[in-house]
Structure 1
Amino acid sequence: MNDQLQQALAALLNKTISGLDAGQQFLSAQLPDVIHQLLIWKATISGLAFAVGLVVFIVTVVLDILIYKNKEYWNDREHPPAYMVVVFVSTIGGIISIPILFTNLEWLQIWLAPKVYLIEYAAHLAR
């Protein structure tokens, strides 16, 4: 009975070890593809956020310039301070977009130094 139990335990351990080996081989074969997909995903998300912030900032600046150049048009209306509300809302949008621009530069780091980004990302995950 003891021999059968030891043989069953040895067979179970051998199956476990072979399963771990197969899993390790699979992971090491797939790791470069996973890292590539991670870099693409992070760069895309960061790039989109940067682009949205940049578009909002540019639209804000252009809108403020257009309103400033045509303030006589706005002053001739029934409610003269109406352009001030538009300028205020536009300026607030521009102010909000500035931190979005400067906090979403991961795409640039991934493009210029992907290995450094991966080290920092791994350190962030380890915390």
Structure 2
Amino acid sequence: MEQKLIEAYESLLTNLTTIQDFVIEETPIVLQQVLAWEFAVNLIWFIIGLVLLITVIVVIVTLMKQAIKENNDEAPLIILILGIFVGLFPLIIVISAIDWLKILIAPKIFLIEYLSNLITG
């Protein structure tokens, strides 16, 4: 019985060493993939938000020019207020998806924040 326990313990130690070696070997690759994934996702959202923001600005300017051309006194104010509220959504997207820049400039800081967010929930 004691011999079986020793064999099980040795087998467990061997497996743990193998797992430890695997984790140490694969960690840099996993970190590179996390950085690449987060960079791509954040850049895509940033571009989507930027395109939406530019579209909102172009539409607002076009509507403002048309309202001024028609000498409508109330329309420019309404268009401006509506444009500000509609423009907040893409602006929030652009601001919240700026992590791609952090990954590009300071990837270690991004990884530290990313891991701390995983740990804290």
TM over 0.5: yes
Q: Distance in 1 between matches of 2:8 and 2:39?
A: 44
Find out whether 1:122 has 2:118 as its counterpart.
no
Alignment counterpart, residue 95 of structure 2, candidates 98, 102, 124: 102
- Unaligned regions of 5+ residues in structure 2, if any? none
Q: Distance in 2 between matches of 1:29 and 1:20?
A: 14
Q: Is the 8 A contact 2:64 2:79 kept in 1?
A: no
Percent sequence identity is: 27
* Equivalent pairs, count: 118
State the one-letter code of the partner of 1:108: L
- RMSD over equivalenced CA pairs, Å: 2.3
Q: CA deviation at 1:28?
A: 1.0
Q: Is the 8 A contact 1:64 1:91 kept in 2?
A: no
Larger Rg: 1
Secondary structure of the equivalent of 2:118?
helix
Q: Distance in 1 between matches of 2:18 and 2:82?
A: 59
* Equivalence for 1:27: 23
Q: Distance in 1 between matches of 2:43 and 2:83?
A: 23
Q: CA deviation at 1:99?
A: 1.6
* Equivalence for 1:7: 3
State the one-letter code of the partner of 1:23: I
Q: Is the 8 A contact 1:57 1:98 kept in 2?
A: yes
Q: Deviations over 1:57-107 (max 9, x none)?
A: 10000111112223346x7xxxxx999887765543212211221122111
TM-score (norm 2): 0.83
Q: Distance in 2 between matches of 1:84 and 1:119?
A: 46
TM-score (norm 1): 0.79
Q: Is the 8 A contact 1:60 1:91 kept in 2?
A: no
* Equivalence for 1:17: 13
State the one-letter code of the partner of 2:118: L
- Unaligned regions of 5+ residues in structure 1, if any? 76-80
Find out whether 1:47 has 2:58 as its counterpart.
no
